[in-house]
Structure 1
């Protein structure tokens, strides 16, 4: 901002409420005038300014007479007044100024050139910079007045602060973001330093926790620090993490800065009814989102689908919604154009949620949100069986916050619980193939208790819970869940479900080092022809596991099973299947004395499996790879062919056997 003051006629600081726009503008201008001389003519546009008062206020701030120019100011305001700025009450007694107002739209209003020239002359003589602070209530009037001032006094310098840019060609916009909480590993950022000045010596991790919950907002930090008069810092950290700081209050120069609620309410009052409804309904979205998800949540009888994107853009310009990804990017996996993504900051989200509750719309919005997430999960499931599994993985990654919320928020009724269960079932590949087994089991265990009606969806959920338990080697739990799934599959005449159950029994037999039973179960699964190709591993993956089971028994049958599995594939982009087949090839070659061929196949399997991220097979491939490298290098017999040590465990001298069954969610 300081650099722009010398070159740009108009500099506008924009940002959300409480981010420090006014404080920063005044501090920079004070420093600027201290170094270069001059003065500042400041008008606080939000503090008691009424229709027609902007030019008068500027003249008064400059110490110039304003009575002679009141007509001009009111005519200017009449043309540009914001709908939220109060107008004269009907039926009031007309004053002299009202008598002189033009009677028709065809009568040209006074130009006000004398007043503008006088103000320009004053600013030039005094080397004054005009500061229009908090322009939002009279934004259009500010924009028109600034344009006319710059025409009347070309050398004039104007600084504006607002949540919304003025939209002029001469304008240089400086977006003020919240303060960074950290500047790197172990380095406190400005937000932590600001809080520390108010708390005194304190545990750094508590300061970071509070500032992260407040998202670095200077106003929120100041209000939270004020609460330390009645609670300790650990209590404050726990409270802001759970409930936010929307209703914290404290002393401030203006009423709207006495709390975050008041700050957001002031901006909310300036929004149109449609924008208010969209703001409130967006509050059910916990993370960032695209226009499609926003439309699913916000569209109703009073908000048409076509109005949502326009409302999003207006809320973005008003610094209510943040844009975290601009439109125009390209998907690196498919080359498709990427839509923009938005985010509602914590305080704006909490404020919107209070408005949603007061309107009695929270339950309906939450239901629409969960239904939209069910559609997202179904789309990801279909993409997983398509030509590029990375698309499905990226979709789940992008929508992780929303999917997690849809899975964990308490359902409102049985129908809502089924929607949550549908999400968990559709994400089977995320849990079973990508390695998030423990997380998937936790969701399924909870949701199965809430969805006890015997439905086809519940039958699938029982099978998936058993499959994940088997993969985590919880064998007894897996068998009980598979027993229930078998009963449900028979009741619903679900032949696909019976084949999937046979597949999991094959997995259990492999973990028990019983290849003969594994072969029988997996052969049964491979003979089935799926009616639903989207859900579950399917016959092709059963064939790949059959090749693994046959590897130590019969090399030719194992190679034949692997070839058949690849021929059954849905697409060439099925890396989960491809990596499993390569792993089976490596096992076959290793078991039958071809370590060099096994080494090549194992390397390819590891590369392909890393694209999916399954820790179970990655661990097995790494173990095998280490042994094969030693065997090829030293010319020794290939280790591990006797089957004494489980292939899914890390082993070696001094290493305690440790299973790799589940992948942990990475932190933020």
Structure 2
């Protein structure tokens, strides 16, 4: 089948950028220049010293241009990639491509991006310059609608690349400027804003203006340096800060002359920040540097405690590092995570190496995530299931690092194989099906001994191969797994092999053999007391019975499956069982009940972003609509599905035996509407965004009294107010905010914190935060600073076009 894979969400105009947790200051000229370069060239690289703000500049430009790229704006973080061979795989993951094929990651990328108008940011390329150059040039040659914006300390050096050296922030040219005039210099503005974050009453006055100016100069206008220094105002006056900077910087005169002065001063500032930490905080800084992509408190306690740090001390040390801006605090739902800037992480790793402890803490890191994977597998079937899915996605980079460590040491290869198998549902429900199979096959190659871990890894890899429709590989792996299971008497292994043998049989069109396999699997899973295997077998057996025309048996095993799932508080398998029952109930003609089953299933699949499950739900809802005589609705759903199955690689991927129902629905709907009306409705469905397609399938827009998304002239766009070129609400457009929201927006523009706004309006801080979330959503913004600009500069539209104009839209309404 076609090797193209992608998430259901990539049909919409995706904006996958890290949220701005602090305000973006200045850079108006640089923003305009980068936009001008992107208009003239398809590849732009931002170069400059570490800490100068290349990434923030790239993110701001990308956010401003997001409406111009129908294929999405995507951020690829390469700082943690140490193996050049993994670059393409990291890009696949960052673009949220559902890797359902057995193709190499580069082939997947080329096929996915071929016809898309997209902007991809490759961040922190300096340690992979040659490999990034090859990747960028290859992708650009294959996709005429692609633009690539890179950040690196040096140019990538390929044909067509335009570079822009990002300078430090603008500094005052005189020490005696009036305090009010200093605000127009970006370096002073940044220092002031960050100082206010720790000292809300801080102001640049006639008394401190010269000291502030000298601090910004000493820091060479480097954003990272300014931010690290400003946090010290929690304990120091601005004069004390300047004095300590002077003392520390004078120690650098013996540094290498081959290194730029700004690099030396930045290193000095990090050294200085390190010296201000307590001995335990320094230890903690070094130890958390083994984490990739962030960590939570549980991980910090498990990996970093011991040898000088007690478990009880970890929380205080983490808080101390957050206060010192060494760790950045981020909220992900109900969990708080911490992240290190890469330059801070690399510094910590150097310190860890000086102590000779890199291997020790990498091993602790590996052991923690190996146990996390095992724990996730044990708790897979139950009320914590969805939370585990979300947690493993957040930990993907750390899981990757732990697996790399396992396979880098021959004696740990079996642990890596077991871990890869434990993560089976992570590979399936996440964005990494192909990666999961590659980890399993790497482990299988390193662990040839015919034992239970190999047998389990074989059937796990076999299932992934079945989903990818790589049946020859699936048969071979399942055959070997069965042989090991029979030799060692492993009933659990034999149960799963029978289950996946049944899936292969359904692919082959042998329904009777499939049913025999499923029944064998069900008997074995019941005997071993495995609820996961039991419900998997019941789901597939119900589908097979229904396909054979045995509705009574299909519903009986379906009801049993739902009872098992409910007894364990499980949702994901239950959603698939409701989908399967919906198919049979639809075949019997009970359309209201079929609709109820499919919509319940779809709501769950939407919650966990399961594109395959949601796609099958949409299929059945289209068939139901056709059976009800709602042919226009059926055609729209079929149009939405056309993109779903294109991105997943095949119609009803993994459920190909149902494809004839799809074909029959298309035939009957086209006949009922006529070719012209069918094509029009089908095209409307194709234009629906992801959220709109799911809302339409669930009939939410009808319940809410709204019109069908996509019926307007700009289908798929949902802007509450007219917007300007930079993504702001357009000048003169009626504000889409309520009176209270406008009141809060004005206070945000004045620089007040949520706490201060709450006190002034006599409402709770939570209410203020809720208002701000609504404001950001309505205006399409992602930071408080954008709200301030919108409030204060609604008449300012020139900025978006002064730098030579943004890339123009094509005939299809989007992209350069």
Partner Cα distance (2:275, 2:545) in 1: 70
Q: Comparing both chains, which one has the higher relative contact order based on Cα–Cα distances under 8 Å and sequence gaps of 6 or more?
A: 2
- Residues 502 and 570 (structure 1 numbering): CA distance in 2 closer, same or farther, change over 3 Å? farther
Correspondence 1:165 to 2:232: yes
Quick one: structure 1 residues 433 and 288, their matched pair in 2 at CA, closer, same or farther if it must change by over 3 Å? closer
Normalised by the length of structure 1, the TM-score is 0.57
Q: Is the 8 A contact 2:418 2:453 kept in 1?
A: yes
Structure-1 residue corresponding to 2:469: 473
Deviates more, 1:292-301 or 1:359-368: 292-301
Q: 1:280 to 1:591 in 2, by over 3 A?
A: same
Question: Within the alignment, does 1:431 sit opposite 2:498 as a pair?
Answer: no
Query: 1:345 deviation in Å?
Result: 0.7
1:489-568 to structure 2, matched below 5 A, reads: 489-529=485-525, 537-552=532-547, 553-568=549-564
In 2, are the aligned partners of 1:620 and 1:649 still within 8 Å (CA)?
no
Contact 1:575–1:609 (CA<8 Å) still a contact in 2?
no
Which residue of 2 is the match for residue 278 of structure 1? 284
Aligned residue runs from structure 1 range 141-540, under 5 A: 162=229, 164-167=231-234, 250-252=259-261, 257-258=263-264, 260-325=266-331, 331=334, 338=335, 340-409=336-405, 411-432=407-428, 436-529=432-525, 537-540=532-535
The one-character-per-residue Cα deviations of 1:622-644 (angstroms, maximum 9, x if unpaired) are 223212211211699x9999968
Secondary structure in 1 aligned to 2:565? coil
Give yes or no for contact 2:176–2:210 (8 Å, CA) kept in 1: no
Please identify runs of 4+ aligned residues in structure 1 that moved more than 6 A: 22-29, 132-135, 168-171, 531-534, 638-644, 647-651
Shift of 1:514: 2.0
Stretches of structure 1 that go unaligned for 5 or more consecutive residues are 1-16, 37-123, 136-158, 175-246, 332-337, 656-668
| Residues 26 and 378 of structure 1, relative CA distance in 2, 3 Å threshold | farther
The separation in 2 between residues aligned to 1:530 and 1:249, in whole angstroms, is 70
Which shifted more, 446-455 or 541-550? 446-455
Deviation, structure 1 residue 160: 12
Change (3 A) 1:629 1:502: same
Change in Cα spacing, 1:35 to 1:580, as seen in structure 2 (3 Å) is closer
2 CA distance for matches of 1:429 and 1:608? 16
Check whether the contact 1:425–1:464 (CA below 8 A) recurs between aligned residues.
yes
Give the structure with the larger helix fraction. Answer: 2
Give, in whole Å, the separation in 1 of the partners of 2:357 and 2:292: 17
Q: Is the Cα contact below 8 Å between 1:540 and 1:569 reproduced in 2?
A: yes
> What are the Cα deviations for residues 474-526 of structure 1, in whole angstroms up to 9, with x where unaligned?
11111111112112223443211111111111111222222211111111111
Contact persistence 1:617–1:648 (CA under 8 A): no
Number of residues of Structure 1 aligned to a counterpart in Structure 2: 442
Instruction: Provide the rounded CA distance (Å) in 1 between the counterparts of 2:324 and 2:664.
Output: 55
Q: TM-score, length-normalised on structure 2?
A: 0.48
Aligned mates of 2:612, 2:476 — CA distance in 1: 23
* Offset of residue 532 of structure 1: 7.1
Matched, 1:32 2:32: no
Tell me if the contact between 2:406 and 2:416 (Cα under 8 Å) persists in the aligned partners: no
Contact 2:437 2:461 in 1 (8 A): yes
- Asked if structure 1 preserves the Cα contact closer than 8 Å seen for 2:228 and 2:325, the reply is no
CA offsets, 1:561-603, max 9 Å, x none? 1112222336464222222222222221233344454343333
1:574 lines up with 2:588 in the alignment: no
Is the partner of 1:165 in helix, strand or coil?
helix
Question: SS in structure 2 opposite 1:505?
Answer: helix
Cα deviation code 1:278-329 (max 9, x no counterpart): 222222111111122122222332333333333222222222222223xxx9
| Cα 1:503–1:160 shift into 2, 3 Å | closer
How far did 1:260 drift? 4.6
Match of 1:238 in 2: none
Deviation at 1:368, TM superposition (A): 1.0
The answer for the alignment partner of 2:150 in structure 1 is: none
> Structure 1 490/526 Cα, relative in aligned 2: closer, same or farther at 3 Å?
same
SS of 1:600's equivalent in the other structure is: helix
Q: C-alpha separation between the residues in 1 aligned to 2:597 and 2:257?
A: 61
How far apart are residue 276 of structure 1 and its match? 2.4
CA 1:504–1:596: 2 relative to 1, 3 Å: same
Change (3 A) 1:306 1:442: same
Contact 1:280 1:356 in 2 (8 A): yes
Alignment root-mean-square deviation, CA: 4.3
